[in-house]
Amino acid sequence: GAVVSQHPSWVICKSGTSVKIECRSLDFQATTMFWYRQFPKQSLMLMATSNEGSKATYEQGVEKDKFLINHASLTLSTLTVTSAHPEDSSFYICSAVAVRDTEAFFGQGTRLTVV
């Protein structure tokens, strides 16, 4: 199947700093990428939908100025957590959907810990 690479797999940062997470589709072009957040023992919650070349669409309650999403190419989307706080500590997962396809392929996830 198609491969989506997410980097880094884990990161520890200090409060107030920013962290960038990358999501790359390695062997296909993804017109749409999705960013999810998952707290321990909970399900995945969609944060935003990222379309190549346009602004991301954020879900209700997700601060767009805090979670900056850039989808500059058909193979790369980035999520930047700005001014991170301990409550932002979570597992962040991206997924990508190929052009005219149905199945979403997921990255390995990024474990963010803010201390």
Partner 1 sequence: SQQGEEDPQALSIQEGENATMNCSYKTSINNLQWYRQNSGRGLVHLILIRSNEREKHSGRLRVTLDTSKKSSSLLITASRAADTASYFCATDRTSGSRLTFGEGTQLTVNP
Positions in the binding site for partner 1 (CB under 8 A): 1, 6, 31-32, 34, 36, 42-46, 49, 91, 93, 95, 97-98, 100-109, 111
Q: Are 36 and 47 in contact (CB under 8 A)?
A: yes
Query: Least separation, in Å, of the C-beta of 2 and partner 1?
Result: 10
SS3 88: helix
Query: Least separation, in Å, of the C-beta of 83 and partner 1?
Result: 25
User: Nearest 5°: phi and psi at 87?
Assistant: -70, -10
Q: Which is nearer to partner 1, 13 or 104 (CB)?
A: 104
Q: Which is nearer to partner 1, 31 or 82 (CB)?
A: 31
